[in-house]
Amino acid sequence: MPKPERKHRGAAPIAQAGEPVRIAKALARAGLCSRREAERWVAEGRVSVNGEVLASPARDVGLTDRIEVDGQALPEVEPPRLWRYHKPKGLVTTHKDPQGRKTVFDSLPEHLPRVVSVGRLDVNTEGLLLLTNDGALARHLELPATGWMRRYRVRAHGSVAQEALDRLKGGIEVGGVRYGPIEATLDKVQGSNVWLNIGLREGKNREVRTILDHLGLTVNRLIRISFGPFQLLDLEPGGVESVRRRVLIDQLGQHVAHTLGLIEDDAAGTGGGRRKPSARPPGNAQD
* Predicted TM-score (pTM) of this structure: 0.75
**Residue pLDDT, tens place only, 33-78:** 778 888 999 999 999 999 999 999 999 998 788 999 999 988 777 7
So what's the pLDDT on residue 4?
Answer: 35
**Residue pLDDT, tens place only, 131-158:** 998 888 888 998 878 889 999 999 999 9
| Residue-level pLDDT, tens digit, the chain, 287 residues | 333 333 333 333 444 455 788 998 888 777 677 788 889 999 999 999 999 999 999 999 987 889 999 999 887 777 889 999 999 999 999 888 899 999 999 999 988 988 889 999 999 999 999 999 888 888 899 887 888 999 999 999 999 999 999 999 999 999 999 999 999 999 999 999 999 999 999 878 899 999 999 999 999 999 999 999 999 999 999 999 999 999 999 999 999 998 888 886 543 344 333 333 333 333 333 33
Q: Which residues pair with 230 in a beta bridge?
A: 227
So what's the pLDDT on residue 2?
Answer: 36
So what's the pLDDT on residue 19?
Answer: 74
So what's the pLDDT on residue 273?
Answer: 38
So what's the pLDDT on residue 211?
Answer: 96
Reply yes or no on whether 287 is catalytic.
Answer: no
* Contact indicator for 207, 220 with CB cutoff of 8 Å: no
Q: Which of 97, 122, 213, 287 is catalytic?
A: 122
